[in-house]
Amino acid sequence: MTTKSILQILPPPPPHMVGDGFRVHNFFPSGYNLGKWSMSPFFLLDYNSKVSFTPRENPRGVGVHPHRGFETVTIAFHGKVAHHDSAGNSGIIEDGDVQWMTAASGVLHKEYHEQEFSRSGGLFQMVQLWVNLPAKHKMSPPKYQAIKNSMMGKYVLPANNGSVDIVAGTFKEIKGPAFTFTPIEMYIISLKKDATLAFSLPENYNTGLLILDGNVKINHEEEANEDTFTVFQKDGDEINLEAINDCKILVISGEPINEPIKAYGPFLMNTNEEIVEAMNDFAQGKFGKLED
């Protein structure tokens, strides 16, 4: 095995609000222009770093909006989010859970702080990824995967020095439950202070680490601090971690989709004509109905 080299450790860009319920750092595509180091198949990474929300009777959130051509993956670390879509899916994403929504041919969606969390207030930390779909699947029927933490594959380090929750892909022969249209590895790693962990990912995959808690030394060389995102080069297959203190890390890695991309607002397609079609279909009510 050869080490997967670090390309860059990115500090969090200045935050902005999405609706009135999500204060996010957009690492890509807006926060940093990664150019040829695109994170395909991941198109967007919004990170709601830890923030405390005051109690409120009327939940904060984002009203009804459309999606087409990709998947949204929402991961909760602190706080709870309620969501609804025009395909009839709804639920609550709690600490440690993942909501994997395949918008594909088109859905309307809304997401808010869950009612009881809104009333009590408290610490809130979330991640949302947009995962591109290959052209042949962009107009597939929408689908939804509610992935509770208890459903995830579990790997426990020796001496109980940490654990790995496997959302998608395979970690040391333990599989995650998520169905993906293209090869994707997604793990949540928790390490105790001074614990070490080595694992491998395919050389040709685009790979990043988001540090959710604590600080970690990567590949025996560079320290990545809390709330930073590390991008790797495609020149090796092994990553080594050493926890400087108790830490939690989100690992995303996937096979690139080598197709043209045309993005406009909540639509992610391959051509300008498909973007226009998506806008027309939305205007004509073809994404279904959803009350705000």
Residue 144 lies in a domain: yes
* C-beta of residue 69 within 8 angstroms of C-beta of residue 107: no
pLDDT at position 37:
66
Q: What are the strands of the beta sheet with 42-53, ordered from one edge? A: 16-18, 22-28, 42-53, 122-132, 70-78, 98-102, 143-147
Instruction: Provide the token pair at 192.
Output: 């105790």
pLDDT at position 237:
97
pLDDT at position 36:
65
Closest listed residue to residue 46, CA positions, set 21, 79, 83, 9:
21
Q: Where are the alpha helices (DSSP H) in 164-242?
A: none
CA distance 139 to 134: 10
pLDDT at position 33:
84
Strands (E), 19-59: 22-28, 42-53
Residue 86 lies in a domain: yes
Full domain range(s) for residue 247: 6-254
If the chain, 292 residues long, is cut into consecutive pieces of 10 residues, what is the mean pLDDT of each piece? 95 97 97 84 97 97 97 98 93 96 96 98 98 98 96 97 98 98 98 98 97 98 97 96 98 97 96 98 95 84
Count of domains for the chain = 1
Residue 234 lies in a domain: yes
DSSP, collapsed to helix, strand or coil, labels residue 55 as: coil
> C-alpha distances in angstroms, 176 versus 70, 154, 260?
20, 8, 29
pLDDT at position 158:
95
pLDDT at position 220:
96
Residue 264 lies in a domain: no
Residue 275 lies in a domain: no
CA distance 81 to 173: 31
CATH assignment at residue 143:
2.60.120.10
CA distance 238 to 216: 16
Residue 71 lies in a domain: yes
Residue 204 lies in a domain: yes
Residue 283 lies in a domain: no
pLDDT at position 1:
82
CA distance 159 to 71: 37
